Amino acid sequence: MLPVGFASLQRGPEELAALDRVRGWTRERFSLSEDAAIVVAEVACGLPGCPPVETVVAFWTAGDARHQCDTRHQFKVFKPVRDVVEDDLPFAWFKDALVALDGMDCDCC
């Protein structure tokens, strides 16, 4: 078993292409710069009522006068990354609602 950081080495070209596709849609949808960090990952969930596999997307935007450090945004799509389509992403105007607040992490969802 490979360490978590090397999990992408076990993925086939189709899955890697799907990850890149979702990353590109996210960059375009939220007007992110080319150097903005975007993470797309598949996460397995074994909790009751949770989809068996979901796609998690996180991205960071530069800080401003209100938020002096970079701001993390995140959302989930409740299906495997290869099944995600562009219309599954939140609308651009929803960006501020995707801000991940400190202390609001939830392991269950």
Report pLDDT digits (tens) over 19-74.
999 999 999 999 999 999 999 999 998 888 889 999 999 999 876 555 556 789 99
Report pLDDT digits (tens) over 84-99.
999 999 999 999 899 9
Whole-number pLDDT of residue 66: 59
Interatomic CA distance for residues 42 and 82, integer angstroms: 10
Sequence letter at residue 44? A
User: What domains are there in the chain, each with its CATH number?
Assistant: 4-98 (3.30.160)
Interatomic CA distance for residues 79 and 94, integer angstroms: 20
**3-class SS of residue 23:** helix
H or E element that contains 42 = strand 38-44
* CB contact at 8 A, 22 and 85: no
Phi, psi of 79 (to 5 degrees): -160, 165
